[in-house]
Amino acid sequence: MTAQLIDGKALGLRIRAQIKVRTEALKRTGITPGLAVVLVGGDPASQIYVRNKMKACAEAGIHSTFAHYESTLGEAELLDHIRALNENPAVHGILVQLPLPPQIHVGRVIESIAPAKDVDGFHPVNVGALVAGAPGFRPCTPLGCMKMLESIGLTDLAGRKAVVMGRSNIVGKPMALLLLAANATVTVCHSKTPDAAHFTREADIVVCAVGRPGTLTADMVKPGAVVIDVGINRNAAGKLCGDVDFESVRQVAGHITPVPGGVGPMTIAMLLSNTLDAAAHL
């Protein structure tokens, strides 16, 4: 069996085209959605992510602004900048690109963002809303993974076993909560899980968000399972790759996402979607 690809690039573009139509309609009511992007330091990957996000905004008709600070920026200055963005009515969404330099406390920065403008969905108010099943912004990467599942007809996951590999605040934990909200039976594996394969082999859906190439191999996957690869890594040859051993796993899985062209473009599409929702007060 060779798995069917879930093409995140194509799906992301389709969603972005729909967002553009909704953005144009909102603009006709006098509201231009606005995203404020903040980057501290010169991390090369962060610079690429920020550039791609702003380009996608422009294509969808969403106005974006960019503040780029030196890596020596003090926390108080950053908090002042965020306070001003919170008060600016033209700004509907605020994105502080992570990671931040060590002198800045990431938790305090996230908590300083107005929850109604927290389009990354990292603020404790939005995290709490996700846990409680209340309305709020959902983190873009896990939300993008859910859209990929929906795209292959997996909306209600009742009766399905899902395994999430990784328990970070930005991917693993919210991913597990979204799967749970969709009625899946969810297991979370992490670095202290002695035998993750024991769980993944039983799973109908595996989401891998670890940050290490070759984490999920073919022997760990149930035939026909859906495999979503969140990882973004460089292999020994310097080529972009995910966490999943793509060539072997695609022989066993039913559906699989590629890297690049999988979850990454969906993350951007969900950022635009959250920004539009923030502007429209949805």
Ligand X SMILES: NC(=O)c1ccc[n+]([C@@H]2O[C@H](COP(=O)([O-])OP(=O)(O)OC[C@H]3O[C@@H](n4cnc5c(N)ncnc54)[C@H](OP(=O)(O)O)[C@@H]3O)[C@@H](O)[C@H]2O)c1
**Chain positions contacting ligand X, by CB under 6 A:** 141, 165-168, 170-172, 189-193, 196, 209-211, 215, 230-233, 263-264, 267
Residue 243, classified by CB atoms within 10 Å of its CB into exposed (0-12), middle (13-18) or buried (19+), is: buried
Closest separation in Å from C-beta 12 to ligand X: 11
Tokens of 70: 């030196």
Tell me the residue nearest to ligand X as measured from the CB: 168
Distances (CA, A) of 105 to 94, 120, 124: 17, 17, 15
Closest separation in Å from C-beta 75 to ligand X: 21
Closest separation in Å from C-beta 131 to ligand X: 18
- CA Rg, the chain, in Å? 19
266 vs 278, which CB is nearer to ligand X? 266
38 vs 145, which CB is nearer to ligand X? 145
Closest separation in Å from C-beta 186 to ligand X: 14
Residue 26, classified by CB atoms within 10 Å of its CB into exposed (0-12), middle (13-18) or buried (19+), is: middle
- Decide: 190 and 166 in contact? Cβ < 8 Å: yes
Q: Which position has the token pair 């297991």?
A: 187
108 vs 190, which CB is nearer to ligand X? 190
C-alpha 266: how far from its chain's center? 7
Task: Indicate the angle between helix axes 124-132 and 172-181, nearest 10 degrees.
Answer: 30
169 vs 251, which CB is nearer to ligand X? 169
C-alpha 199: how far from its chain's center? 24
Q: Which residues are catalytic?
A: 53, 97, 120
Closest separation in Å from C-beta 164 to ligand X: 9
Best CA proximity match to 229, nearest among 192, 266, 190 = 266
211 vs 254, which CB is nearer to ligand X? 211
